[in-house]
């Protein structure tokens, strides 16, 4: 072959090689661009492995964890607290809990350490606060928290220990076996109530459904809520068989503002339920602001110090205040009823740390005009 033809062939091959490298550089992913004819790809690709892409964070619901004394008619030796640890993976990549270690502190003193296995964690695992697009119409749908899953915990410890902090260390595994460890400090405290409250109902009553620890309400903003039923002269719930709302002694009793403040939410349009044990979810969905319709005819009072009273399930047409009004302590604001998601005539009351139902921490509350300041479920009491 003549020398000229050999050179031309060599130049042609060189030009083709350069052109192919240019095309490769222009259309390759950003992580491997900029290669020259003298550059080789490393043995490990620059593309990020899915195992390296995990971004995990932990937080609690409620945001601030408060303790409650376990005593019924007077303070007892034990106190309890309840919280969920929410595990959030930024891209919702799959994770499994492997173990958890919880250290209990009083000041700088380590009181004890508790360990949970994978089986123990999966027994308290759920997805309790994530928004859903399903037809479910419940508090779970409305909390609107970002989570992969959550782990629910309840502890009861001697009050004398004065536990004020937990250190929560969670170990997780990815589908390929990579381990991820995250630690969260969780303050726990006794709540210092700012507002002086009176009980929002006069006369004899009982709490049908109480606080989160052992007495009922599990939803986030209702952790320290009360479902209150009025009682008759001999502490009866009903006059006859209780088949109609009017048979219940509390029906129509005045509801009072537990403290002064500004009304920031009020509604008066939710129909009374037809009879005890029946409520129409489909009807509530069709009403304006259906999330709030769960509370029926209800009022939220801003006490001006980061505390908000929520009073719910009043009779349709009975609410005497509207948004923007200012109320005084003891002022009548409506009549006890059974509207919204209510099984029987009662008043739902809770104090919360924000103005938005289902998205605000519930707060412990005590009442100055009761013999037992924190009424527990099943006690027969009277508000003067």
pLDDT (tens digit per residue) in 193-209: 999 999 999 999 999 99
What are 355-374's pLDDT values in tens digits?
A: 999 999 999 999 999 999 99
Reported pTM: 0.84
In the block, tokens 């909390």 appear at: 143
- Between CA 290 and CA 139 the distance in angstroms is 12
Mean of the pLDDT values across residues 345-353?
97
CA within 13 Å, CB half, 334: 29
Give the 3-state secondary structure of 179-206.
EEEEEEEEEEECCCCCCCECCCECEEEE
Q: Please state the rounded mean pLDDT for residues 169-183.
A: 96
Tell the residue number behind the tokens 């009360």, with chain if given. Answer: 226
Does residue 316 carry a pLDDT above 60? Answer: yes
pLDDT digits (tens, 9 = 90+) for 130-166: 876 545 666 666 888 989 999 999 999 999 999 999 9
In the predicted model, what is the mean pLDDT of residues 221-249? 94
Place of tokens 């109320």: 327
Q: Which residue has the higher pLDDT, 95 or 32?
A: 95
Contact 339, 270 (CB under 8 A): yes
pLDDT at 49 over 60: no
- Cβ atoms of residues 321 and 333 within 8 Å: yes
With 80 as the cut, is the pLDDT of residue 23 above it?
no
Bridge-based pairing state of the strands 203-209 and 226-230: antiparallel
Summarize pLDDT for 252-309 with one digit per residue, the tens. 999 999 999 999 999 999 999 999 999 999 999 999 999 999 999 999 999 999 999 9
Is the predicted pLDDT of residue 3 greater than 70, yes or no? no
Look up residue 317 and give its DSSP letter: T
């Amino acid at each position: 072959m003549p020398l000229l033809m050999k050179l031309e062939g060599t130049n042609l091959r060189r030009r083709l090689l350069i052109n192919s490298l240019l095309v490769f550089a222009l259309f390759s992913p950003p992580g491997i661009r900029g290669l020259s004819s003298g550059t080789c790809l490393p043995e490990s690709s620059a593309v990020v492995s899915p195992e390296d892409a995990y971004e995990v964070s932990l937080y609690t619901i409620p945001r601030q964890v408060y303790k409650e004394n376990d005593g019924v008619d007077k303070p007892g030796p034990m106190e309890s607290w309840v919280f969920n640890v929410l595990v959030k993976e930024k891209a919702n990549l799959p994770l499994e809990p492997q173990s958890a270690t919880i250290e209990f502190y009083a000041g700088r003193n380590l009181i004890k350490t508790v360990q949970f296995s994978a089986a123990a964690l999966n027994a308290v695992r759920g997805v309790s606060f994530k928004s859903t697009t399903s037809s479910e119409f419940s508090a779970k749908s409305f909390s609107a928290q970002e989570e992969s899953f959550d782990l629910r915990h309840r502890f009861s410890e001697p009050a004398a220990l004065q536990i004020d902090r937990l250190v929560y260390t969670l170990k997780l595994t990815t589908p390929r076996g990579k381990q991820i460890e995250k630690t969260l400090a969780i303050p726990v405290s006794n709540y210092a109530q700012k507002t002086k409250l009176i009980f929002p109902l006069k006369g004899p009553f009982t709490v049908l459904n109480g606080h989160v620890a052992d007495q009922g309400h599990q939803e986030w903003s209702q952790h320290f809520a009360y479902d209150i039923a009025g009682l008759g002269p001999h502490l009866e719930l009903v006059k006859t068989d209780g088949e109609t709302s009017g048979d219940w002694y509390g029906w129509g009793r005045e509801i009072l503002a537990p403290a002064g403040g500004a009304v920031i939410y009020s509604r008066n349009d939710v129909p009374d339920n037809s009879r005890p044990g029946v409520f129409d979810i489909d009807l509530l969905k069709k009403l304006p602001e259906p999330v709030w319709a769960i509370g029926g005819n209800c009022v939220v009072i801003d006490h001006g110090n980061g505390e908000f009273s929520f009073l719910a399930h009043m009779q349709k047409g009975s609410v005497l205040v509207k948004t923007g009004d200012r109320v005084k302590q003891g002022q009548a604001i409506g009549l006890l009823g059974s509207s919204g998601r209510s099984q029987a005539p009662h008043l739902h009351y809770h104090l919360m740390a924000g103005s938005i139902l289902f998205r605000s921490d519930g707060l412990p509350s005590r009442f100055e005009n009761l013999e037992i300041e924190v009424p527990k479920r099943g006690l027969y009491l009277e508000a003067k």
